[in-house]
């Protein structure tokens, strides 16, 4: 048998580590505190496909009466019925179940692998809500791959880990009596479960384990976005949050971001249809004009002229109705010509807090994770979660 050069062997090992979730998670951190997070991984589903790799127990909610237990399940369908839940070929007159895997058992929902426990709940409209209960460190492991590239500089990934962990804690404290703390999409933090874990992102989670941001000893609403386009936004423009770390500041670090500038052209009739779907009474759209900008340069309010008159709309609501991936930010100009609106803009995202591409270029210049965080959240501090939250 031929001997492989040592460089080739190392390369194979490295690629395996970067792309194998089980290897990525093998170096679990020593955790100072267990902090539970509840993530809605599916909402409004008609049915789900359940697979369990390892020993498990399924309990009825809310009293946790045992329904079944065993050693592995393979592609069992769960769907709501008028009187309860159909699990495989058996119907149970219950509104939900809790699925617990023993030790390192994995729960697979519709081909996505998850750690922790899973609640499957029948909602009043005969749909399914699926909520993953897990420790915050496992949760962040499933988030980072979707929020930044695992090939990015380690200090940028670590800064993102601390921001994402902080945001998760903040949302959990705000959740109150809700069934979940966060969703698994762009409206919270994109979360893919164990399937999304990678070696370098897991390393960033381990090296920042338990670290969060606070301001005046309170958990910071650690918002973040892709590219600020030259100036981060004041959070008070969008939400009822007016604190020093989120007042916005100039940023020159993201100038080389691939999302720094953008342009899109939309027919007026398609904009009108989307505005109608969003609840606005628009008919015969003629023109779009900018009424005001804030100190970051972003548009505060626009005016839509149509056959009914003029409708004034906050720019951030206009952006969400048309689609946040279409109108990438509210830092834009608009010109109407030949029946279409031409938008030319800068940045991607709401602009509040950490600029991810700014963090990337800061790390490329040798700045550390804390340096990055203090730049984008001035006046905040990095502390241990165990020091501010009681288990």
Question: What CATH number is given to the structural domain containing 293?
Answer: 3.90.930
Q: Which long-range contacts (CB under 8 A, 24 or more apart) does 20-24 make?
A: 20/199, 21/113, 21/194, 21/195, 21/196, 21/197, 21/198, 23/199, 24/141, 24/197, 24/198, 24/199, 24/201, 24/202
Other CB atoms within a 10 A radius of the CB of residue 120 amount to: 25
For residue 246, is it within any domain? yes
Average pLDDT of the chain? 91
How far is the first Cα of the chain from the last one, in angstroms, to the nearest whole number? 56
Domain shared by 312 and 209, yes or no:
no
Distance CA 386, CA 126 (A): 40
CA angle centred on 188, ends 279 and 220, rounded to 5°? 115
Q: What is the pLDDT of residue 103?
A: 79
Please identify, among 103, 126, 149, the residue that sits at the C-terminal boundary of a domain.
Answer: 126
pLDDT at 93 over 50: yes
Q: Which long-range contacts (CB under 8 A, 24 or more apart) does 69-73 make?
A: none
Domain shared by 5 and 84, yes or no:
no
Residue 375 near residue 356 (C-beta atoms within 8 A)? no
Domain shared by 17 and 116, yes or no:
no
Domain shared by 283 and 378, yes or no:
no
Domain shared by 73 and 99, yes or no:
yes
Reported confidence tier of residue 37, pLDDT bands at 50, 70, 90: very high
The dihedral built from the CA positions of residue 232, 233, 234 and 235, taken in this order, carries a sign that is negative
Residue from 20, 18, 55, 14 nearest 194 by CA: 20
Please identify, among 68, 93, 126, the residue that sits at the C-terminal boundary of a domain.
Answer: 126
Residue from 329, 248, 328 nearest 296 by CA: 248
Q: What is the pLDDT of residue 32?
A: 73
The parent domain of residue 277 ranges over 261-346
Residue 296 near residue 231 (C-beta atoms within 8 A)? yes
Domain shared by 363 and 341, yes or no:
no
For residue 238, is it within any domain? yes
Reported confidence tier of residue 2, pLDDT bands at 50, 70, 90: very low
Specify the range with the lowest mean pLDDT, choosing from 12-26, 107-121, 184-198. 12-26
For residue 116, is it within any domain? yes
Classified as helix, coil or strand, 158 is helix
- Residue pLDDT, tens place only, 141-199: 999 999 999 999 999 999 999 999 999 999 999 998 889 999 999 889 999 999 999 99
Domain shared by 241 and 271, yes or no:
no
pTM: 0.89
Instruction: Report how many domains make up the chain.
Output: 3
Structure letter (DSSP) for residue 181: S
Q: What is the pLDDT of residue 176?
A: 84
Domain shared by 91 and 112, yes or no:
yes
Domain shared by 220 and 205, yes or no:
yes
Domain shared by 237 and 366, yes or no:
yes
Mean pLDDT of 25-53: 84
Distance CA 66, CA 176 (A): 28
- Residue pLDDT, tens place only, 305-324: 999 999 999 999 999 999 99
Distance CA 142, CA 147 (A): 10
Q: Cα-flanking dihedrals φ and ψ of residue 299, to 5°?
A: -75, 130
Domain shared by 252 and 147, yes or no:
yes
Mean pLDDT of 276-294: 94
pLDDT at 326 over 50: yes
Domain shared by 166 and 117, yes or no:
no
Residue from 329, 378, 323 nearest 353 by CA: 378
């Amino acid at each position: 048998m031929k001997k492989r050069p040592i460089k080739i062997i190392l390369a194979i090992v490295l690629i395996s580590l970067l792309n194998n979730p089980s290897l990525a998670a093998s170096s679990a951190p020593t955790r100072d505190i267990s902090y539970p997070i509840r993530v809605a991984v599916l909402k409004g589903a008609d049915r789900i496909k359940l697979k369990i790799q390892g020993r498990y127990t399924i309990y009825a909610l809310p009293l946790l009466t045992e329904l079944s237990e065993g050693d592995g399940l393979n592609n069992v369908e769960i769907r709501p019925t008028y009187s309860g839940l159909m699990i495989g070929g058996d119907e149970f007159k219950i509104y939900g179940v809790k699925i617990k895997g023993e030790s390192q058992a994995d729960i697979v929902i519709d081909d996505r692998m998850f750690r922790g426990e899973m609640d499957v709940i029948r909602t009043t409209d005969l749909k399914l809500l699926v909520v993953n209960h897990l420790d915050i460190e496992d949760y962040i492991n499933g988030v980072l791959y979707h929020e930044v590239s695992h090939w990015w500089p380690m200090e940028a990934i670590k800064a993102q880990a601390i921001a994402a962990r902080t945001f998760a804690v903040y949302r959990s404290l705000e959740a109150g009596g809700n069934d979940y703390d966060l969703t698994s999409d762009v409206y919270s933090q994109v979360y893919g479960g164990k399937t999304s874990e990678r070696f370098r992102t897991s390393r960033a989670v381990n090296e920042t384990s338990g670290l969060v941001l606070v301001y005046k000893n309170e958990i910071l609403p650690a918002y973040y976005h892709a590219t600020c386009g030259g100036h981060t936004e004041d959070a008070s423009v969008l939400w009822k949050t007016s604190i020093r770390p989120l007042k916005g500041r100039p940023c020159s670090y993201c100038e080389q971001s691939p999302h720094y500038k953008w342009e899109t052209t939309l027919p007026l009739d398609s904009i009108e249809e989307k505005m109608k779907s969003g609840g606005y009474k628009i008919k015969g759209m003629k023109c779009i004009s900018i009424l005001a900008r804030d100190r970051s340069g972003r548009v505060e309010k626009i005016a839509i002229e149509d056959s009914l008159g003029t409708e004034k709309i906050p720019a951030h609501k206009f952006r969400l109705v048309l689609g946040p991936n279409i109108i990438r930010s509210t830092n834009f100009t608009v010109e109407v010509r030949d029946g279409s609106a031409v938008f030319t803009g800068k940045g991607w995202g709401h602009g509040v807090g950490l600029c991810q591409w700014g963090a990337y270029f800061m790390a490329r210049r040798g700045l550390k994770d804390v340096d990055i965080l203090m730049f984008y959240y001035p006046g905040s501090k990095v502390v241990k979660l165990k020091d501010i939250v009681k288990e």
